[in-house]
Each structure stands twice: as structure tokens, then as C-alpha cells.
Structure 1
Amino acid sequence: MAFDTRSAMVAHGMVETHVFLMHIASIKALWADSGIQNAYDRRREFQLGESVKYFLDNLDKLGELDYLPSQQDILLARRPTKGIHEYDFEIKNVPFKMVDVGGQRSERKRWFECFDSVTSILFLVSSSEYDQVLMEDRQTNRLTESLNIFETIVNNRVFSNVSIILFLNKTDLLEEKVRIVSIKDYFPEFEGDPHCLSDVQKFLVDCFRNKRRDQQQKPLYHHFTTAINTENIRLVFRDVKDTILHDNLKQLMLQ
């Protein structure tokens, strides 16, 4: 496996190739153990990365001496956003500047540094975390926390003329989860079939939409996304581009 073997990197948690290869068989045996699988099935009770299964299921590939990460491997090697990151890009000759901010509580105090002169806010939330708690607060449901943050933003007068686009991400994980975990156990107000994906998705959209105090204001745009599906994101961003340009043009005409 193509790990960096420089001592400085090893000191920061990287694993040397020969050490990793030496333990692959043991890791595979451990992952196949029924007790470990039972623990994995209860992963919502503790903080476990969502990509763990993917990488443990692909140990043989990762252990190849000439291994190079695929696009999928890179997308699944997620790290939380820390700090503020700006990205300039174009979609069909239309320039965009995207400012990415971390969602952890410790990062939120810096958000308002980025909100001056924004034309749109893309609010990204995991649609599959209705049964999980925060890493920094094991008493608070993750979806509830996202709803509370969204309520603060969507009702802020500063953003009265800003397009707010809701990205309900991780649709692939939501589809898996609704089969086995009832959302009604965590949100008793849910009505419908808790194991029906479309019913759960409708409920999620309604939860966010109902956080707006002024229901007469501009529409709330939403998209269900799977960030590791590049084709899905390409189509979504095409729609987002049209939404942003349309809303900005309308604002200019009203001025």
C-alpha cells in the first residue's frame, strides 16, 4: 500500500507499508469476526467513520504493492473541514467562488467572517444521521442540531435576499438505514412508513422548511445528493448554477 514512510508522517499516524502488509491477514480475520460485525451493526452508538466498511472490505486491493488510490478511494477518505477554505471555479464559463467552512461547534464562530456579500448559501446536512449524536456532545441528536443551525440562518435578516439551497447529502446511506432503523424512534412526530425512502425524505424536507418563520418568503430549494457520486453532484451543481443566476438576476431587476 502506498503509505508515506517518512518518519515525520509516521509520527502523525501514517503506517509504513511493510507494517501494514504484515498485519493484513489479522485485520481481515478480525473484521470477519461475528463479534466485530455485531459491534459494527451498532455503530450509531459510538463515533465511527462511515467509510470504515468500504476500506475494510477492500483490504486486498489496499495491500497491493503497486496500489494507487482510485477516485472513489480518495472521495471516501474523508476528513472534517477545519478553518475556512476558498475555491474558485467555473461552470460553463460562469465564475463561482465557494467558501467552505467547518460544521463543528468549534468552527461556527468563524462563519460570519465569510457571510459578507454572499449571493447564496449551500447548507449541507447529512440525511442519514437521524439516529446519531454529535461527536462533541453525546446527548444531542445530529439532525436536531442541523435543524437548529438552519433555523438560525434561514431566519436571519442578513440573508433575506440570499438564496438558501439545502443539500440533504448521503442519500445512499439513508437508503440503507431506513430499511433497518425507524426514524419514528427518534422523531415520534413522523407520519408515514418509516421504512419507505420517499416518506422519510419528504419528512426531512418538511422539517427544514418548517423552520422558516416567514412562510411567504422566497422558496427553499433542496436537493438530495450523494457527494461521492460524481455524476449526481455534476447534475445537482448544474441546477444550483441556474438557481443562483436566476435569483441574482431577479434581485438586480428589483433594485
Structure 2
Amino acid sequence: MRISCRPRSALSGCFPAASHSSGEAEQQPASPSEIDKSPQAGRRYVKRLVKILLLGLAGERASPPLLKQDLRSNPGQDWTARSREEFRRHGIYSNVIKGVRVLVDAREKLHIPWGDPANQSNGDKVMAFDTRAVTVVQGMVETNVFLDYLPAIRALWADSGIQHAYDRRREFQLGESVKYFLDNLDKLGEQDYLPSQQDILLARRPTKGIHEYDFEIKNVPFKMVDVGGQRSERKRWFECFDSVTSILFLVSSSEFDQVLMEDRQTNRLTESLNIFETIVNNRVFSNVSIILFLNKTDLLEEKVQKVSIKDYFPEFEGDPHCLTDVQKFLVDCFRTKRRDQQQKPLYHHFTTAINTENIRLVFRDVKDTILHDNLKQLMLQ
């Protein structure tokens, strides 16, 4: 498989070259200038191109963990020291500081008292963190800055008031990986800390604009287009609709009791269903394969033991504490949003993004599905 990644400027329409560390992108597909020199080869490339659109409610979605996992889990490809260091500063350190700020803010708004009143000063310090500072460039937090905040973060995470706020996290938007990193502060505080593969898969970096990933499977060129899922980013989606072959629609299966970060009122699953309904009934996609990813199965399995989905979706029938019943309901919710049931089948996969083997098997099936659905067109061309 050949893989390359390049960001696209959504406003200018140009495609600036992206720098790659060793092992990240082994080969580039034919450049526009090379295609221009051979118009016939260029036309064949465009006709054979399989364009995959990556959509869905994001909140804090970056290049999704499952996408990162697929691109990085091929033999001979691994995270370089340079890319690990980037994720340490850009993903993990910033995730921790942002997560603690959300918890401190939620504690105050939910009127939860401090376990130790002395932690008010630690809370004030974290809330005063300046994202515009010279040491914080494009979301990157340098090691010395993080270590300066680490004692305050450690004290806050140990406070019963913050823990109480965390227990009520369904009432506000908090990244699922925040607890994982806060539980591992000793590791993160080491001077020579480099993220493990699991650390990287759990890190979140918001998608801004449009990002394209070019790769090749069985001599068939693929282009995966990833756009941000926040409400402010969705206006750019229409720019990517042209010549789409398949849509991968991402949903967090465990968020049926959570609300949007944007308004703190709208149910996240309801929002995903509304977006899906708009996409799946768009005439532009009448002949497009749609693959539904219901991610975070591990969190869903844990949640259904404690939370009844029926409290949020009264139409649910079955055992709210049975994972199979809840999963069937979720799939049916999305399937019934499609008005024309004669369209191509709706494929679905329940995934756990940090489970390497699960993602490898799912993506193998997805690739086979996409290739199979487009086999006739590819052969005719």
C-alpha cells in the first residue's frame, strides 16, 4: 500500500505540500504536473480513483484513531520518534490541560464544592493558562510548560470535587481519553517521555479544514477526505461532495446520554442521526456506498451496565442493559433514516479504535467492500 497525507486549504482550493517524517509517507502519487504531461494517464487515474469521504459528528475528532491505526499498522510502518514527540506536545499535553480546564469549569457551573478549598488556587492557575502564549503555538504545549502546570493538575485530579464533576461528565463535553492520561500523570511527567502507540491512539487533535490521504490498494488509487465535524466546520462539507465513491460515517456508540459541546443541550446521538439523515438522503449520494462506524464499543459495553438508553430514547424496546439489544437499536435508528431503502446497502461495523486487531479486521472488510462495490466500474474503465 502506498500512503501519503496532505492538508487541503478549504478556502483557496490549493494543495500545499506537507512535510513528512521518515516512515510516514513512503511514496507520493503522481503529481498534477506529471499528470499534465500525460493527459491520458491522468484521465485513467481520475476514472479509477476511489474517493472516500469521512464524515460524522466530531466534537474533538482529529484524524480519527481508527484512521491513524489503519495508516500506521501496516508492516514496516511505525510511529517515528519525531512524530511521537509531536503527539506528546500537540495531542497529549494539550489534551490534559484542556481536560482539567473543562473539569474545573464544570465543577463551578455544577456548584460542586472543592474537596480541599486550597485547590481553588490550583484551579485558578489552570484556568489562567494562556493558549495564545508564545510557548503555545498551534495547540502545541512545550514540555517545560506542561511540567510547570503538572503539580497543580495532579492536585486537582486528586480533589473529590473534581472527581465528582468527572462522575457527572455526561452533563458536559469531556474527551473520553482525559481520565486515561490523568491516571498516568507520573509517566507523562518524565523528562524523556515519548507516547506509546496506545497513547497516540487516545490523543485527540481537532480537525480543522479539509485533509486528504492518498494511498493505493491492489493498484487502485484511493483518496480519503477528512473534514471537521463541529457545526462550524460542516459548511465546508459540500466542497468535498464531488465524485464521492464511498462515505465512512463515524458515530460514537456510547454517547446516547451526552450533549454537544456547542450548546450543552442537544443529545449527541440525536445530532448524529440528524446529520446522517441529511447525508444519506442527498441525491448526490444515491449510488454511493455508505459504511457506518459505530465506535467506542468498549465504552458502550461499560455504559449499558449503568445507564439505561430508554431514559434518553423512550422508543427503545428490549433490555437496556443488554449490549446486543442496544447495538441493534442503534443500527436500526440509522437505517430507518434512509427514505429510499432501494439504495445500496448500509454497511455497519462496531469498532474499538484503540484495539489494533479489531481495527485491522474492520478495515480489511471495509477495503474489500469498497473494492467489490466499485469493481464493475473499475473494470469498465
Tell me, yes or no, whether TM beats 0.5.
yes
**How many angstroms does 1:93 deviate by?**
4.5
CA separation of 1:32/1:158 partners in 2, compared to 1, >3 Å: closer, same or farther?
same
C-alpha offsets along residues 86-137 of structure 1, whole Å, 9 cap, x if unaligned?
Answer: 0012345443110001111111111111111111011111111111111112
CA separation of 1:5/1:192 partners in 2, compared to 1, >3 Å: closer, same or farther?
closer
**How many angstroms does 1:229 deviate by?**
2.3
CA distance in 1, matches of 2:229, 2:213: 17
CA separation of 1:2/1:44 partners in 2, compared to 1, >3 Å: closer, same or farther?
closer
CA separation of 1:4/1:97 partners in 2, compared to 1, >3 Å: closer, same or farther?
farther
The DSSP-based 3-state class of the residue aligned with 1:8 is: coil
In the alignment, which residue of structure 2 is the partner of 1:252? 378
CA separation of 1:7/1:149 partners in 2, compared to 1, >3 Å: closer, same or farther?
closer
Say if 1:164 and 1:220, in contact at 8 Å, map to a contact too: yes
CA distance in 2, matches of 1:25, 1:104: 33
Say if 2:254 and 2:297, in contact at 8 Å, map to a contact too: yes
Which of 42, 50, 54 in structure 1 is aligned with 2:180? 54
Q: Which has the higher contact order (CA 8 A, sep 6+)?
A: 2
CA separation of 1:159/1:29 partners in 2, compared to 1, >3 Å: closer, same or farther?
same
Tell which structure's C-alpha radius of gyration is larger: 2
CA distance in 2, matches of 1:156, 1:115: 10
CA distance in 2, matches of 1:86, 1:46: 31
Say if 1:3 and 1:15, in contact at 8 Å, map to a contact too: no
C-alpha offsets along residues 177-211 of structure 1, whole Å, 9 cap, x if unaligned?
Answer: 11111111100001111111111111000000011
Task: Map 1:49-198 to 2 at 5 A.
Answer: 49-198=175-324
Deviates more, 1:21-30 or 1:214-223: 21-30
In the alignment, which residue of structure 2 is the partner of 1:232? 358
CA separation of 1:4/1:152 partners in 2, compared to 1, >3 Å: closer, same or farther?
closer
CA separation of 1:223/1:2 partners in 2, compared to 1, >3 Å: closer, same or farther?
farther
The DSSP-based 3-state class of the residue aligned with 1:98 is: strand
CA separation of 1:14/1:111 partners in 2, compared to 1, >3 Å: closer, same or farther?
closer
CA separation of 1:97/1:106 partners in 2, compared to 1, >3 Å: closer, same or farther?
same
CA distance in 1, matches of 2:298, 2:210: 28
CA separation of 1:14/1:159 partners in 2, compared to 1, >3 Å: closer, same or farther?
closer
CA distance in 1, matches of 2:265, 2:204: 24
Deviates more, 1:16-25 or 1:125-134: 16-25
Deviates more, 1:150-159 or 1:31-40: 31-40
**How many angstroms does 1:217 deviate by?**
2.5
Unaligned runs of 5+ residues in structure 2 are 1-126
Say if 2:135 and 2:142, in contact at 8 Å, map to a contact too: no
The DSSP-based 3-state class of the residue aligned with 2:248 is: strand
CA separation of 1:213/1:15 partners in 2, compared to 1, >3 Å: closer, same or farther?
closer
Deviates more, 1:90-99 or 1:1-10: 1-10
CA separation of 1:162/1:22 partners in 2, compared to 1, >3 Å: closer, same or farther?
closer
Say if 2:287 and 2:343, in contact at 8 Å, map to a contact too: no
**How many angstroms does 1:8 deviate by?**
2.8
**How many angstroms does 1:82 deviate by?**
1.3
Deviates more, 1:109-118 or 1:15-24: 15-24
Say if 1:99 and 1:114, in contact at 8 Å, map to a contact too: yes
Equivalent residue pairs, number: 255
CA distance in 1, matches of 2:134, 2:141: 11
Deviates more, 1:25-34 or 1:165-174: 25-34
C-alpha offsets along residues 23-69 of structure 1, whole Å, 9 cap, x if unaligned?
Answer: 54553343233332221111111121211101011011111121111
Unaligned runs of 5+ residues in structure 1 are none
CA distance in 1, matches of 2:361, 2:343: 26
CA separation of 1:246/1:12 partners in 2, compared to 1, >3 Å: closer, same or farther?
closer
CA separation of 1:69/1:5 partners in 2, compared to 1, >3 Å: closer, same or farther?
farther
Question: Normalising by structure 2, what TM-score?
Answer: 0.61
**How many angstroms does 1:16 deviate by?**
5.1
